[in-house]
Amino acid sequence: MRTPEKLTEAIHQRGGKVTPQRLAIYRLLAGNQGHPTAEAIHEALREVMPMVSLTTVYKALNELAAAGEVKRFDVGGVSHFDPNTDPHAEAVCLLCGRIRDVEATVPDEDVRIDGFRVSSVATLFYGYCSDCAARRIET
Amino acid sequence: MRTPEKLTEAIHQRGGKVTPQRLAIYRLLAGNQGHPTAEAIHEALREVMPMVSLTTVYKALNELAAAGEVKRFDVGGVSHFDPNTDPHAEAVCLLCGRIRDVEATVPDEDVRIDGFRVSSVATLFYGYCSDCAARRIET
DNA sequence: TTAGATGCAAAGTATTTGCACTACC
DNA sequence: GGTAGTGCAAATACTTTGCATCTAA
């Protein structure tokens, strides 16, 4: 994701408005190294801006995803938004549901597959994190 | 996914029952080269077995996914079930929503990442299929 | 005979949409 | 001042769950 300043510029250029809500969301994402859900962002946002609505959060996130600024991916019926667009993979624990970024050799997103134009790639490892794997063996 | 015969065997071994519903679902999946949704499977199933319920389809699919027989992944809030467990990627069109399997170099699922035990991998390319990419330029 | 499976209806949850109000430019 | 954005409430959609009924073994 680009910096909040760059995004602000881009909005002005297309005749949009830079609202405090959007700015706060951009700043939150810029300082986030995870892959938060809309709900999580809304929660964190309320601490600095108590009146923001979840609807607005969704709209801002969908814009960013459509513009390719964040990577959106679904796990278990919940959408996650990852501001880190560098090539990496996500590890999803099937027991506790936690997701963490992992380094891995992932496919290059600059490929073209038989006419299909790729704009982003999500690589998801499903499995068991060390905590849950241990707990699994015990029981 | 293993053959319907092998799955039948496995069910018997663990004291389960091989119902006509399960068998029909297994056969449908075995002859499917896509990544159908529960709804799609239910639809196709009704042609050979009009009384099967969507609930039963979900239960059978969840069993298969938990057993690692099919790969489950979510796109846009909808779950897809892929009987093809060979390494491959999915290409998701952001406009028409169509998903197709593509050959690509995907990460090996037999890796262990810092204590995380991987059981399956989903690689999703988001972008625009040739039809939609063309339509996008026109408009 | 009986434990396991089915299927209806209802609940639960995530995300989107319509519309009136607000505020950035 | 005009238009883009916000936010409430309601709608929509997918999946799971409780429970009574049925059936494969």
**Distance from residue A97 (CA) to nucleotide D22 (C1'), in Å?**
36
Q: Which residues of chain A have pLDDT under 70?
A: 109-111, 135-139
Q: What is the pLDDT of residue A139?
A: 46
Q: What tokens were used for A58?
A: 């969704």
> What residues does each domain of chain B span?
1-83, 86-139
Burial, B125: exposed, middle or buried (Cβ in 10 Å; 0-12, 13-18, 19+)?
A: buried
Query: pLDDT tens digit string along B46-102?
Result: 999 999 999 999 999 999 998 989 999 999 999 999 999 888 899 998 878 889 888
Smallest Cα–Cα separation from B120: which of B67, B61, B58, B79? Answer: B67
Among the partner-chain residues A72, A121, A126, the one whose CB lies closest to the CB of B120 is: A126
Q: B137 pLDDT exceeds 60?
A: no
Q: Inform me whether the pLDDT recorded for B11 exceeds 90.
A: yes
pLDDT in the model for residue A49: 94
pLDDT digits (tens, 9 = 90+) for A37-53: 999 999 999 999 999 99
**B69: closest CA of chain A, how far (Å):** 14
Q: Which fold has domain A1-83?
A: Arc Repressor Mutant, subunit A (1.10.10)
Q: Residue A138 has what pLDDT?
A: 53
**Best mutation site among B62, B74, B81 for testing chain A: the one with the most A CBs within 10 Å?**
B74
Q: For the domain B86-139, what is the CATH code?
A: 3.30.1490
pLDDT at B110: 66
